[in-house]
Structure 1
């Protein structure tokens, strides 16, 4: 089969890969949608010079699709052919307290492995994963929605969970990329009044469609001053920072009211710097959030389905595998919505039948 790999220096390649049979406890998922995540851009943009580890794994850590086949020891209660599923994209030891509580990325026995980097990811027609990483995808949700919930939207949910009960509170969401827009949508559905901050006009308009009661352009004016003006000088109790930008983090700190909380989930190169004496008497809480647990991924999907949230409207671009170079060049601009690679059942079946010897023969 063909899969997308990052080769560094803003380049991608489409390479041929064999697909192996699922081993004990594993399943083969026929991918129907594989989301493009902002964290992929760090690898896509990375300068590479003679690094022989580049391009060894198929990219993409937001796959959703249909269980194609199962390996030995996978009971029907875990997975059966035809099941619609998402994938929790981390693999841990499975036995430590962190793994057993649904947080394999916090594994205490060994470094976690992630699809798309250490393991082959979802930018291909098929992916082999442990059955324990699967999360059910409700029939009412599209595969694209499942891909988004698998990381970007799920990351927003995880940040909101860290902040606690947002219902009835004013929440500022810094950054209205796919994660920030997801946070605006989810928080509004959970009863929050959301103020959305982003320098891109189109993203601010999108945030209003998702329920933001006000938007702020941080280029036009000082974001924290604008937010305080919108709250009669009081500031806000809750901030979610999704951009990873140092100035956004500082503005988020500055617009907090006493006892306020800020959660940092952006993966940019930003730094949280502040003079302790400036905040000592405010009793504010600064916290981080790292994606979500596998339990929270399921809870997020159930909430989206129950509330009938328009997750599909996050996507501004849908691509086919052959358009990989153009897709990442466009996504790198970071001025639109979310991108996703889509596969239909016919494409996957034809490719699998045509490559049967490579998949199940001596080359596996």
Structure 2
């Protein structure tokens, strides 16, 4: 095993820097994972790549190896590990929580309240390097039926989509609206289709992603954002609106569309991060008896549930990866993801 490795860091000015790092050694309860795939998340672009946003638990520490969606194989297990051993294929749940607070004990380390909470790729080194040092408790087994790109896609994007869909419930009676067809929106469509949704409607302005959704046969109808978008959705649903809506756009207008295009007693999940939401509570929510659910990433137990269902459904999240780069070209990978002219972008690490 090499003693040095190249890691990609994000200075915050829409550039990527490469630095040499020591290959870490696992301590008690830790494992060294050889990265096989690490995908790029929209939050990496929004909150780190363009400029460093957030403080404390949500702040990027300058100089950390980027990448919070890694997947790979255990290269070495440290003392005190109890489950994973060399050769095991694993997904890294990207928040390392304290394990003791209420949220951690629920499995939602994403909402850990401890000052010791750390996110891979943000406050501790992430997956944009050949190896990543992980706490064993943060690992999810990757079934043999799934690829490393599948696992990396699950690590954040598909896990986030699945969590939201489980909160609002999806079944064969539902017309479902997905606002924003970036990677998380496309993941949402793929999962809704697997769950048997009756009709899938997307709202998106990016022509590349509209065509990608159509080419993959993930959507029945796509509407571009406009003042008439809600009316168009109502027309597609017999004037009633959709039973379920998920906003992945993070835009005020997109969220309004999701709420107003949902039928009486319907449910809406908010997934996209940032910005604001402007509603008129009585006509938009109260009189129509709608429910809005906030959903932030997912839990370790839900991620385990997801990978089991992916195998059962026979679907592969990695199919949303449209572009692959080796780590030496991570600058090109981040630039492409920032352009929006792509699906999911992955940095891959060939086995040696």
Instruction: Pick the TM interval, shorter chain.
Output: over 0.9
1:23 is aligned to 2:30 = no
After superposition, the Cα gap between the structure-2 partners of 1:293 and 1:313, relative to the gap in structure 1 and judged at 3 Å, is: same
1:6–1:12 contact (8 Å) kept in structure 2: yes
Secondary structure of the equivalent of 1:11? coil
After superposition, the Cα gap between the structure-2 partners of 1:210 and 1:110, relative to the gap in structure 1 and judged at 3 Å, is: farther
Alignment deviations for residues 246-265 of structure 1 (CA, whole Å, 9 cap, x no partner): 11001111111111111110
C-alpha deviation, 1:47, in angstroms = 6.3
The whole-number CA distance in structure 2 between the counterparts of 1:19 and 1:133 is 19
1:276 equivalent in structure 2: 281
TM-score (norm 2): 0.92
The whole-number CA distance in structure 2 between the counterparts of 1:264 and 1:28 is 35
Give ranges in structure 2 of 5+ residues lacking alignment: 54-59
C-alpha deviation, 1:117, in angstroms = 0.5
C-alpha deviation, 1:305, in angstroms = 1.6
C-alpha deviation, 1:343, in angstroms = 0.3
2:6 equivalent in structure 1: 2
1:214 to 221, 233, 236: 221
Larger Rg over CA atoms: 1
1:140 is aligned to 2:149 = no
1:182 equivalent in structure 2: 187
1:89 is aligned to 2:83 = no
Report how many residues are paired.
338
The whole-number CA distance in structure 2 between the counterparts of 1:9 and 1:109 is 30
Give ranges in structure 1 of 5+ residues lacking alignment: 347-364
The whole-number CA distance in structure 2 between the counterparts of 1:67 and 1:309 is 24
2:146–2:316 contact (8 Å) kept in structure 1: no
The whole-number CA distance in structure 1 between the counterparts of 2:99 and 2:169 is 27
1:44 is aligned to 2:43 = no
1:6–1:54 contact (8 Å) kept in structure 2: no
TM-score (norm 1): 0.89
The whole-number CA distance in structure 1 between the counterparts of 2:101 and 2:61 is 31
Secondary structure of the equivalent of 1:150? helix
The whole-number CA distance in structure 2 between the counterparts of 1:342 and 1:317 is 10
2:230–2:261 contact (8 Å) kept in structure 1: yes
2:68 equivalent in structure 1: 61
2:11–2:63 contact (8 Å) kept in structure 1: no
1:85–1:137 contact (8 Å) kept in structure 2: yes
1:34 is aligned to 2:35 = no
1:184–1:210 contact (8 Å) kept in structure 2: no
2:77 equivalent in structure 1: 70
1:128 is aligned to 2:138 = no
2:208 equivalent in structure 1: 202
Secondary structure of the equivalent of 2:339? coil
